[in-house]
Amino acid sequence: MTTADLPRILPFAIPLLVVAVILLRARKPKRIHVGKLWIGPLFATLGISMGLWFTPHPPFGILQYAAMALAAGLGVAAGTARAHTLRLWREPETGHLLAQASPVALLAIIVLVGVRMAVRQIGGIDPGGSTPGLWASTIIDASMLFALGMVISQQFMLWRRIDALPA
């Protein structure tokens, strides 16, 4: 392997590394700080908004905007589903709120990463290439909107579920 192979390998290696980290971290319960649930969606909104604003792409038509709206809606549905798969409970001794991902949620993350990688391959998106074409730009922007919808809805639904828990 040479440094010339890196642009072809990194788009596969990075998602696999992220999935491995998620799987390792999900094995143990995580303490939830209700007052901090807004931080993730805020940074995701800022980062993705800047990514969408500053990324050069050709002008979009109605089909491209419809595809992006569909992706955002699917992201909201995925985030809502993921929030409902988390196991929530209060620690009896301390009263701290804990959450643990279910195996179904972990499997869903693996499937989503695989679908994203397949769509990028089918769409002909070259991470090291020049400015992408119309549909490649649509796929990139739609995947960012999917992620944003997922992050926001997951945290919102998690907050609602926590609010419904007995004290």
What SS3 state is found at 98?
strand
On whether residue 3 sits in a domain, the answer given is no
**Domain count of the fold of the chain:** 1
Tens-digit pLDDT profile for the chain (167 aa)? 667 676 777 767 777 787 788 777 777 888 999 999 999 999 999 999 998 898 887 888 899 899 999 999 999 999 999 899 888 998 888 888 999 887 777 777 777 777 777 766 666 655 555 556 777 778 888 889 999 999 999 999 999 999 888 77
Domain, as residue range, for 93: 62-167
Residue 18: inside a domain: no
Cα–Cα dist 38/116, whole Å: 26
Distances (CA, A) of 158 to 12, 38, 60, 122, 139: 30, 11, 34, 34, 28
Q: Is residue 4 domain-resident?
A: no
Strands (E), 16-125: 30-32, 87-90, 97-100
Let me know if residue 46 belongs to a domain.
no
In a domain, 16, yes or no: no
